[in-house]
Amino acid sequence: MRKGFTLLEVLIAVFVLSIMSFLIWQITNNTYRGTEKAGKYDEVYQYARVAIKRLNDDLSMAFLAGPNLKGKQQDGTVTFETTFVGVNEGDADKMNFTSLSSVRLVADERKSDQIEAGYFISPCPEAEERINCLMRREAAVIDTKSDEGGESFPIAKGVKRFNVEYYDSNKQEWLDSWNSKDPALADKLPRAARITLTFYDPKNEDEELTFVTSVMLPLANGAIDF
């Protein structure tokens, strides 16, 4: 004679099935959360790579023009000047300088390789949440105001700190600011720039991810004048 399951057996089977379902859900959930966190870390590292690459390209081609290359009108009025200014503003330093790092995206494009480049921290444009971005400004025309003009766009999101130090080869020390208009640094570039870029940790906002790099400035020996 065929027998069915007893109520106790059914309850035990349901209990075992519930435990297995819970374990499968927990494993799946942990895997998803781990993948999500890994994706956020990858995003931060990608932002850091892009920002450091762009900073390296611009700074390594920074230049100053000598007196013979400065544009002047007939009355002696200066039409453009090249500068290198790095301002220490705590966790949000600023840089504005002239560089030969312009890239032609179209063959035979009528575009100079000289630009004004600027870097600064600002709230990310069009962001749903209030976070800061490292912004890059590029102006195709060099004028007498190296900190204005051109277009600005974000190159790194979720930046907590942006700090730059400048190496003075005469003093053989790192300075927290630089101004090529300063009499002590007149028409001089730093020998190198040390950049510290800090992001919020995606896993814990109380923690942070820090990236440090140094960039040599090959044209630091003197202004171009020929």
Q: What is the DSSP string of 82-151?
A: --EEEE--TTB-EEEEEES----SSTT----S-EEEEEEEEEPTT-SS--EEEEEEEESS--S-TTS-SE
Tokens of residue 171, six digits: 């003093």
Task: Give the whole-angstrom CA distance, residue 81 versus residue 71.
Answer: 7
Give the per-residue pLDDT at 198. Answer: 97
pLDDT at residue 156 is higher than 90: yes
- pLDDT band with cut points at 50, 70 and 90 for residue 164: very high
Tokens of residue 47, six digits: 């932002």
Give the per-residue pLDDT at 67. Answer: 66
Q: What is the CA radius of gyration of the chain?
A: 27
Is residue 149 within 8 A of residue 172, CB to CB? The reply is: no
Average per-residue pLDDT for the chain: 84
Q: Are strands 115-123 and 94-99 parallel, antiparallel or unpaired?
A: antiparallel
- More confidently predicted of 186 and 56: 56
pTM over 0.85: no
Sign of CA dihedral 194, 187, 177, 198: negative
- More confidently predicted of 98 and 223: 98
Give the per-residue pLDDT at 147. Answer: 84
Give the per-residue pLDDT at 224. Answer: 72
Average pLDDT (35-44) is: 74
- pLDDT band with cut points at 50, 70 and 90 for residue 73: low
pLDDT at residue 77 is higher than 90: no
Give the per-residue pLDDT at 99. Answer: 95
Give the per-residue pLDDT at 4. Answer: 62
pLDDT at residue 58 is higher than 90: yes
Task: Give the whole-angstrom CA distance, residue 151 versus residue 130.
Answer: 21
pLDDT at residue 2 is higher than 60: no
pLDDT at residue 33 is higher than 90: no
As beta bridge partners, residue 133 has: 122, 157
Average pLDDT (72-100) is: 85
- Quick one: what percent of the chain has pLDDT higher than 70? 81
Residues 6+ apart with CB under 8 A from 103: none
Task: Give the whole-angstrom CA distance, residue 32 versus residue 27.
Answer: 9
Average pLDDT (192-212) is: 91
- pLDDT band with cut points at 50, 70 and 90 for residue 23: confident
- More confidently predicted of 35 and 133: 133
Q: Which amino acid is at 95?
A: M
